[in-house]
Amino acid sequence: MQLFKRLLNILGQADCTHERAGKPLLTAPEFESLKRDLNIIEQARRHGEQGYPPVEATRLTAVEEKIRVTLESERDKALAWAESWIALIEKRLDTLDITRMVSNCVHVDQDFERAANSLVSDYAVRLQRLEYSAREREAELCAFKAQNHGGFGKQQKRRNEALSVYQDEIADVRNELLALKGEYLEKLEADVLACNEQLVSYQSALDEKRNVKPRLASGLNKAEMILAGLVQCYRAENQLYRNGRRVPAYFSETIALQAIRLPDSDTAEDEVRLVSQQLALTGLIEQLEQIRGRIQACFYQKYSQLMPLSWLPEYPPVMENRIAAEPV
């Protein structure tokens, strides 16, 4: 239940993430700033007073050409921003893909079983040796008792010491096994939360990618509008100061920017991946209890294999309480 509450909290933060994703990253050119930087008004007046460009002129003036080059440069900046931003977003989408992590979570019980088997195997030889030693000391004690009516304190002490070492080792292995189970269950929960967080981030990054095209279009349109506005400003001011002299015919024509190729910002494939990951995460959440159950079942099986030597008739009661405690 606690896990599901945390999942809901993460989903509730999606809108905030999307809001941060909409933060402007592209700086558009400003009309007044460019008009001032290019010194358009002053040059237009001076040229108009000089009757420049002449009425028969067909080529752009240096000022008009500077306006065109400047706006094409601004447009190129917008294109470079879009291309680099799309590349960065696509890289983020690849790193945020949860498919592999979901698959690992689904099979985490198998990973735990392998780890538990390895843990028990690592201690197997030592446990066998300690068990053999305890049984050997028990046999010595029984043999001594059969031949003597008393004075077996030394043999009993040796038996109890050997048994204590064995039981302590059993307890240590059981505790390690218990800790191992806890680690895998905690990792499972942490990975599910991480999957959900990454999926929210994936959705946010996808929204950013969807937003690139309209933002780029807006930037390009603004560049064209500023181009037309600055050119018109130059020509109108030039004509005003020509003292009645005619303007060249090309003043009535617009200045066209060079054709450009827009970057690919299609999200169709990313949308398919998003749906696939959403379904995978939903399936994982539905299997969580079963996965936990399989981990617990494997734990009990391995835990039960580590049986203390409770068959011994003089098994110390205090030790039995420690070893035979129910696993958590």
User: What are the pLDDT digits (tens) for 164-194?
Assistant: 898 899 999 999 999 999 999 999 999 999 9
Distance CA 190, CA 303 (A): 25
Task: Decide if pLDDT at 9 tops 80.
Answer: no
How many domains would you assign to the chain? Answer: 1
Model pLDDT, residue 239: 96
Domain range for 194: 2-23+31-111+187-323
**Per the omega criterion (within 30 degrees of 0), is the bond before 53 cis?**
yes
In one letter, which amino acid is 25?
L
Q: Which contacts of 95-98 are long-range, i.e. CB under 8 A and separated by 24 or more positions? A: 96/198, 96/199, 96/201, 96/202, 96/205, 97/198, 97/202, 97/273, 97/277, 98/195, 98/198, 98/199, 98/202, 98/277, 98/280, 98/281
Distance CA 280, CA 278 (A): 5
Full-model pTM: 0.73
Model pLDDT, residue 21: 44
Give the pLDDT band of residue 80 (cuts 50, 70, 90): very high
Q: Residue 321 class from Cβ within 10 Å (0-12 exposed, 13-18 middle, 19+ buried)? A: exposed
Model pLDDT, residue 149: 76
- Percent of the chain whose pLDDT exceeds 90: 67
Question: Is there a domain that residue 127 lies in?
Answer: no
Distance CA 173, CA 121 (A): 11
Give the pLDDT band of residue 310 (cuts 50, 70, 90): low
Q: Which contacts of 13-22 are long-range, i.e. CB under 8 A and separated by 24 or more positions? A: 13/200, 14/200, 14/203, 14/204, 17/200, 17/201, 17/204, 18/203, 18/204, 18/207, 20/204, 21/204, 21/205, 21/207, 21/208, 21/211, 22/207, 22/208, 22/211
Cβ–Cβ under 8 Å, residues 202 and 96? yes
Question: Is there a domain that residue 167 lies in?
Answer: no
Task: Decide if pLDDT at 11 tops 60.
Answer: no
Give the pLDDT band of residue 57 (cuts 50, 70, 90): very high
Task: Decide if pLDDT at 23 tops 70.
Answer: no
Distance CA 230, CA 233 (A): 5
Quickly list H helices, 52-152: 62-96, 99-106, 108-147
In one letter, which amino acid is 26?
L
Mean pLDDT of the chain: 86
- Per-residue pLDDT averaged across 236-258, rounded? 94
Question: Is there a domain that residue 88 lies in?
Answer: yes
Give the pLDDT band of residue 151 (cuts 50, 70, 90): confident
Task: Decide if pLDDT at 159 tops 50.
Answer: yes
User: What are the pLDDT digits (tens) for 200-227?
Assistant: 999 999 999 999 999 999 999 999 999 9
Classified as helix, coil or strand, 265 is coil
Question: Is there a domain that residue 173 lies in?
Answer: no
Task: Decide if pLDDT at 292 tops 80.
Answer: yes
- Per-residue pLDDT averaged across 285-292, rounded? 97
- Per-residue pLDDT averaged across 282-305, rounded? 95
